[in-house]
Amino acid sequence: FAARVKKIITKAQTNQVMDDKALLEKYRREISELKAQLMLTAGDGAAGAGTGGSGAAASGPQQAELSSLLQKERRKHEEEMVEMNMVRNALKERIDHLTKLILTSSSVHTKGAAPDPPMGRYTVETSADGTVMDFPKEIESRLARKDTIVKELQLELEAQQEKMALMKTALEKAVKGDSVDLEKTLAKVENMDEHTPPREKFLSQKRASIMNIKNLEDFDGVDGGDLAALKALQQHPEKRQDTTLQKLDSRESAKSVLVIDNEEEDEELMDTPWNREELQSLRQAKRELEIVVMDQERKLEDMVAFEDSDEFRELIIEMEEQREKIVAMEEEREGFRIMITELRNTIRKMEIAGPSSSSSSSSSSSSSSPSSNASANGSTSSAASTMAAAAAARIREVEQVAQKERRLRMEEQTRNMGRIASLEAELTMLKAELSVRNLADF
C-alpha cells in the first residue's frame, strides 16, 4: 500500500472564487480592451485603404484572432456565472445550517459558570420540530435582501453582456470593411452605462446587511444567556418594543452626530472575511485606473486637434487643387466641343457652295465654245474636290486630337475622383478616431 501511495502524483491548484463586483470590474476592463481593439481595427482599416490587396490578405488572420478571442471571453463568462451560482448556493446552505444550529441549541452550559438563578414559568412559541418561530423571520428578510442584491447584480451583468455584444458587432463590421458609425455605438454604450444601477447602491446594501449581522450578535452565541434573552423577550413583548425604539433613536442620533468617512467604512467592511480580498482588489483597480487617467491626461495635453494639424490643412489644399483641375478640364472639353461644331458647320457650307458655283459657271459659259466650257467645269470641280478633301482631312485630324484629349481628360478625371474619395475616407476615419479617443478619455 505504501509503495502504491508513493506512485500517486498530486496536482495542487487554487480555485479563484470571484465575487459579483469583481466580475463587473472584469467586464468593464474587457469593454475598455474591446474599445482599444476597435480603435486599432479602425486605424488598420484606414491604413489598408491605401495598400489595397495586402490589407485584404492580412484581414483574414486578424478576423480569426478576434473571433477566437470573443469565443474565449464567452466561455470565461459562462464559467464565471456557473461559479457565481455555486458560491451563492453554498452561502445559502451555510446560512441555513447556521440558523438551524442557532434554533436547535436548547440546552448548552458554559464551563466554570455559576448556575443560573431559578426563574418562573415561561412560554415559548415553537413549531412541530421544536424550533422557535421568531428568528426565521429576520433570517428570511436577510435572505430576501441578499436575493435582491444578487438579482440587481445579474441585471448589471446582463447589461455588460449587451455592451460586449454591441462592441463585438462593431468590431466584426470594422474587420469586414463595412461602414461603422462609431459615435452611435459609443453613445449606445454610454446610455447603457447611465441606465445601470450605481455601485454605491450595492455597497450601501451590503453595509446594511453587515449592520444587521452585528445587531444579531446577541442571538448568535451558544451560551445559556441567549435562551434567557429569548425567554425574556417572549414573556415581555412591551419591553422588546421599547428596546427596539431605543435602538432606533440611538442609531438616528449617532447618524446625526457622527460622520463616517470612506476609510472608516472600508475598515468596517474589512472586518468581514468575505470582503477583504474584494476591497483589496477594488483598491488596486482604483490605483490602476488613476494611473491610466493620468497617462490619458498627459496624452491629451500633448495631442493637437485634427482640425488644427498640418495634415488636415494639406488634405484640404490638395482637395481644392484637384477640384480646380477638374473644373479646368471640363472647360477645356466644352471648348473642344464648340470647335468641332464650328468645323462641321464650315464643311456643310462648303459642300452647299460647291454645286451652286458650278451651276452658275455653266449658265454663264453657255454662249462660249464647248471646249472652253469643258475646261472651266473641270477646273471648278477639281478645286472644289481638293478643298473638300483638305477640309475633311482637317476635320478628321481635329476629331482624333479631340478624342485623344477627351480620353486623357476622362482618365485624369477618374484618377482625381478616386484620389478625392480616398482622401475623404481618410478624413472621416481620422475624425472618427479622434472622436473615439475623446470619448475613451472621458
Residue 285 within any structural domain of the chain: yes
Per-10-residue mean pLDDT for the chain, 442 residues long? 84 71 80 81 61 50 73 79 79 78 56 43 45 52 71 74 74 69 64 54 57 49 44 48 50 44 47 63 80 79 70 82 85 83 80 62 48 51 71 79 83 84 82 77 64
Based on the fold, state whether residues 405 and 344 are members of the same structural domain: yes
Q: How far apart are CA 241 and CA 267, in angstroms?
A: 32
Which of 222, 251, 283 is the C-terminal boundary of a domain?
A: 222
Based on the fold, state whether residues 47 and 20 are members of the same structural domain: yes
Based on the fold, state whether residues 78 and 212 are members of the same structural domain: yes
Which residues partner with 126 through β-bridges? Answer: 132
Per-residue pLDDT tens digits for 158-189? 777 777 777 777 777 766 766 666 566 666 66
Which of 163, 189, 222 is the C-terminal boundary of a domain?
A: 222
Based on the fold, state whether residues 280 and 384 are members of the same structural domain: no
* Residue 230: predicted pLDDT: 44
* Residue 44: predicted pLDDT: 65
Per-residue pLDDT tens digits for 262-296? 444 445 444 555 566 777 777 787 888 888 888 77
SS3 110: coil
Residue 428 within any structural domain of the chain: yes
Number of domains in the chain: 3
Q: What letter would DSSP give residue 126?
A: B
* Residue 157: predicted pLDDT: 74
Based on the fold, state whether residues 287 and 141 are members of the same structural domain: no
**Residue 234 Cα distances to 123, 298, 414, angstroms:** 7, 67, 95
- Lookup: cell for 263: 476609510
Based on the fold, state whether residues 335 and 420 are members of the same structural domain: yes
Residue 91 within any structural domain of the chain: yes
* Residue 111: predicted pLDDT: 41
State pTM to two decimals. 0.22
Per-residue pLDDT tens digits for 342-365? 888 887 777 777 655 555 555 554
Per-residue pLDDT tens digits for 73-112? 778 877 877 877 787 787 888 787 777 777 775 444 444 4
Residue 234 within any structural domain of the chain: no
Q: How far apart are CA 11 and CA 431, in angstroms?
A: 54
55, 63 Cβ separation under 8 angstroms: no
Task: Tell which residue, 100, 108, 90, 162, has the closest CA to residue 127.
Answer: 100
* Residue 112: predicted pLDDT: 42
Residue 255 within any structural domain of the chain: no
Cα dihedral 278, 192, 167, 288 sign? negative
Which of 222, 239, 254 is the C-terminal boundary of a domain?
A: 222
Based on the fold, state whether residues 158 and 282 are members of the same structural domain: no
Domain that holds residue 270: 263-302
Based on the fold, state whether residues 212 and 297 are members of the same structural domain: no
Based on the fold, state whether residues 319 and 287 are members of the same structural domain: no
Run of H or E including 217: none
